[in-house]
Structure 1
């Protein structure tokens, strides 16, 4: 019996071996190599470089632009986490409650995920700089007549709109899959006991899709900290540095101007530590919540 179990484990390992090799080569190894280069003064081009220890990390503490980008990214993470998950869950519930055209609505809301967000971002640049101004002029919608990309007050709103447009469809499918697993008998029993739609959702449906909520929060958190393409396409981090995320700050350090690859990888290491700690805290909190429910 023991031999059979060991043989089964070897077969399972054989199946996951290609994915494991790809992960080790293209994820783990570059991450470890990046940490090594964070201890050097390498510029990413020359073959020669020197080990400088923790000098890059010490310099980061005095880097005002980096900490401003951290502050902006944290604000973005909180807002997009709430907006995208609330909209995705709302759409999932509304679509699942329909008897017809579910497939059509699923396709429509998932379509933004089928294109690159760089392309989607440039599409929205046209909307913010052409279409919205046309509507404001022709239909007298004065509240739309704003500088949606050039004004820091509205550029953040524009980024949230485009990011939500690009992520809600994916999260919606996860919630819909979880909603389909909720037994209909439980909801019917709650209705017979006098519960209204909101009480049925709060006391029956939502506790049973808590696992999907954990997955969506985890995915939203990790992807939000790495936001780059939407901001790059819409504002480029501007006006000035008002909408510069951590990923854009690292990109600027590594590939633009005075190229400092070692310094950029040190910033990447700090970002990794922040995301890792927040993810651990989030998973621990959500797992505890699932057990309570």
Structure 2
């Protein structure tokens, strides 16, 4: 509720002026919309891929440790470093493959074209996230009683029916945790976008965190205004998280 710039000793209370300005800021709401879209896609893609990997690895009799290590390794790399690694892939490797290996479908401006930059961000973010979620799902799968699966098979259920009728209901607590974690990290997304696109082209891939970062640390520094935007983001995340937890918990109770 102040106009403090982070440096001056003097500041004035502006009450709700920062909030009013934020609600009128089209770039802020554009970044909110982008973040919501990013969160929705990431929740679906990352959790689906992680669960599929967990089921595939758990169904193997040998090599589980090797596959766990391989898919978890991206989570051990800083996202900024990973982002720059993928920047090289998108700007060098894919063009080389398109020109020399005949893979013309890869010949796109993955970073400079808004139509593909969002897909590039999702690919990199999923690459870094799936391994962590996979470990949680694998732990849940290992807790499913084998006798229930055997009983379902004896009753004539195929592998698909066993998964959706027996396994999935029993691992719903893990699904709740993973969806909650993905939501939380999705609304905070910064590093992958900063490393890949910097919020561009223009402001096409600017997340809320990046918009707040610009207000607080770049150009005309406005700490008070940036904090007001952070408060609005907190309220949005709180509402969505409460809804998600209530829906998932009620679903668990039904099953």
1:235 pairs, out of 175, 197, 201, with 197
The alpha-carbon deviation at position 61 of structure 1 amounts to 1.3
Distance 2:95 2:175 in 1: 38
CA shift, 1:168, in A, is 0.3
Q: 1:61 aligns with which of 9, 19, 23?
A: 23
Q: 2:35 aligns with which of 61, 73, 76?
A: 73
Count of residue pairs brought into register by the alignment: 255
CA distance in 2, matches of 1:111, 1:254: 33
Supply the distance in 2 between the matched residues of 1:47 and 1:282 (Cα, whole angstroms).
Answer: 42
Report 1:99-118 matches (<5 A): 99-118=61-80
CA drift at 1:49: 1.0
* Cα RMSD, aligned residues only: 0.5
TM-score (ref. length: structure 2) = 0.99
Structure 2 partner of 1:157 = 119
Cα offsets for 1:140-194 (capped at 9, x unmatched):
0100000000000000000000000010000000000000000111001100110
Q: TM-score, normalised by structure 1?
A: 0.87
Q: Which runs of 4+ in 1 moved over 6 A?
A: none
Q: Name the SS for the 1:189 alignment partner.
A: helix
Pick from 118, 123, 130 the counterpart of residue 168 of structure 1. 130
In the other structure, the counterpart of 1:259 is: 221
Shift of 1:119: 0.5
The alpha-carbon deviation at position 47 of structure 1 amounts to 2.0
Equivalent residue number for residue 143 of structure 2: 181
CA shift digits 1:107-145 (9 cap, x unpaired): 000001101101100000000001111111111010000
Q: Which has the larger radius of gyration?
A: 1
Structure 2 gaps of 5+ residues are none
